[in-house]
Structure 1
Amino acid sequence: MKRLIRIAICDDEPDSILRNKEILQACTGRMKCIADMITYTNGEMLLSDILEDNFFYDLILLDIEMPNISGMDIVQSIKPRLPNVRVIFITSHIKYAIDSFELSIFRYVPKDDLVKRLTYAVSDALKLIMLENHKNYLVVTANRMEKVSFQDILYIQRDGKNSAITTFHGVIKVRKSLQNVLEELDAEEFIFIERGCIVNLIQVTQIKNSMIYLKNQIELPISRSHLQGVKVALNSYWGKRI
């Protein structure tokens, strides 16, 4: 059964909301996605729904230049609550592009090439969301059985005879070796960065100075023997999906 993809569109110009929604509907229809779209004419309403009413979104189309609160400020506020949300920034000014990359924005779309660029951006985001949505790791212990979504896993570390799976919601320990867990995951998203640690490439934002940076401002060291292989794997993973 397909999971509903929740999408928000936030722009202070009603005509822009309508254009963005039409492009979204064309993309979701072509890709046969089941999507729920909610529109906002100001950033405060979007923030309130997410931070106060716990609304969840997979994808947000967001204008950067809006009264009272900018798209940049909105993303900084919601990322801790929705670490895996894909955000597509839409703006008339290219000067914001560098700042948007620093916020790990999925894509940056200029308004002067909206139809073509937004269509590509939305299609790529939907492909990635659908790919990740159906992947889960089954955790079975003596007193629990739980499905953990791949997109919720940050990294996995050796903890004595256990493997500690760190997720956005806490740590789950299983009495298995890291190699056994990796084999059970059976997915290219997960790779060793050193002998005692596996990371989820879904969560990686950058590699710098032998450190790998994940969402939630997590930094982990990469061993010298693994560094080149990690770079190659990440480049291949990003190249296939973005």
Structure 2
Amino acid sequence: MTVLKIAICDDDEAAVALHEKIVKNSLQAQGIGYEITTYTQSRNLLYDITDDGFFYDLILLDIEMPGISGMEIPQQVKGFLPNVRIIFVTSHTEYAIDAFELSIFRYVPKSNLETKLTAAVIDAAKLIELEAGQEYTIQTANRMEKIPYKDIFYIQRDGKNASIVSGIGTSKVRKSLQQVFDELNAPEFIFVDRGCIVNIVQIMKVSDGEAVLKNGERLPISRSHLQEVKRQINQFWGAHI
């Protein structure tokens, strides 16, 4: 069973206690294991991650905190926890646009907190669980390489090879795209044109006929695939969140 490692940070001790209670109730109801660490000073959270190597799957952050604000933390921990999910819990709705720009998983206003935070935590947990554990293996006479599904951005045709572009670089395998697609056998991978497979989990948005990925790359979607790509993205998130 997956055990989620969660950090909660708010300079208000009562808020920390409330958020912790909601998180525990939410995950217990879903039968999901968890370990929670709480902070009332943002610098301590940042120190634990950047200096002591603490790992978290999910971080709940207040935005307005003395010293290091919640808005600064995602930028500073990205290099240490590239796949961490961050939920902002705040009463300051004017920060919503900035939170989106930082690729925050969810923005939860403190009004109607219990309902909205419960939904956000469960959705984050399902996504983390979905991404965990699966790996694509490249094996030849000279090497074996395992690439976690969650790290794969896209796979492109490259002559007689398929080039797998992931967070750790580009790996080539002498197989057709269709062979790789069949071996992945996972609903998060879709063709966006005849020469490219994309990981839905890595797509930030579809705009102007392109898939915009979390790493900043923009991949063209062929006109013949566009409607089907949108349908598959909606179907995937509808089934998993």
Q: Would you call these one fold, judging by a TM-score over 0.5?
A: yes
Identity across the alignment (%): 55
Match in the other structure for 2:68: 69
Cα distance in structure 2, aligned partners of 1:238 and 1:102: 21
Q: Does 1:144 align with 2:143?
A: yes
Matches for 1:50-65 after TM superposition, within 5 Å: 50-65=49-64
Cα distance in structure 2, aligned partners of 1:213 and 1:48: 32
Q: Does 1:128 align with 2:152?
A: no
Match in the other structure for 1:22: 21
Q: CA deviation at 1:213?
A: 1.1
Cα distance in structure 2, aligned partners of 1:83 and 1:96: 22
Cα distance in structure 2, aligned partners of 1:25 and 1:34: 9
Match in the other structure for 2:105: 106
Cα distance in structure 2, aligned partners of 1:137 and 1:189: 13
Counterpart residue type for residue 197 of structure 1? C
Structure with more helix by fraction: 1
User: What SS does structure 1 have at the residue aligned with 2:72?
Assistant: helix
Q: CA deviation at 1:80?
A: 4.0
Match in the other structure for 1:198: 197
Cα distance in structure 2, aligned partners of 1:158 and 1:81: 31
Cα distance in structure 1, aligned partners of 2:51 and 2:220: 36
Match in the other structure for 2:36: 37
Give the 3 Å change call, closer, same or farther, for CA 218–140 of structure 1 in structure 2: same
User: What SS does structure 1 have at the residue aligned with 2:224?
Assistant: helix
Cα displacement string for residues 13-42 of structure 1 (whole angstroms, at most 9, x for unaligned residues): 111111111112222222222322222222
Q: Does 1:211 align with 2:210?
A: yes
Q: CA deviation at 1:176?
A: 0.9
Q: CA deviation at 1:6?
A: 1.4
Give the 3 Å change call, closer, same or farther, for CA 13–231 of structure 1 in structure 2: same
Match in the other structure for 1:96: 95
Which 5+ residue runs of structure 2 have no aligned equivalent? none
Q: CA deviation at 1:193?
A: 1.4
Cα distance in structure 2, aligned partners of 1:31 and 1:162: 42
TM-score by length of 1: 0.91
Match in the other structure for 1:172: 171
Counterpart residue type for residue 76 of structure 2? S
User: What SS does structure 1 have at the residue aligned with 2:47?
Assistant: helix
Give the 3 Å change call, closer, same or farther, for CA 129–7 of structure 1 in structure 2: same
TM-score by length of 2: 0.91
Cα displacement string for residues 77-104 of structure 1 (whole angstroms, at most 9, x for unaligned residues): 3234433221111001222222222222
Cα displacement string for residues 42-75 of structure 1 (whole angstroms, at most 9, x for unaligned residues): 2222222323333322111111111122222211
Match in the other structure for 1:116: 115
Q: Does 1:231 align with 2:230?
A: yes
Deviates more, 1:212-221 or 1:178-187: 212-221
User: What SS does structure 2 have at the residue aligned with 1:112?
Assistant: coil
Give the 3 Å change call, closer, same or farther, for CA 81–210 of structure 1 in structure 2: farther
Cα distance in structure 2, aligned partners of 1:7 and 1:33: 12
User: What SS does structure 2 have at the residue aligned with 1:176?
Assistant: coil
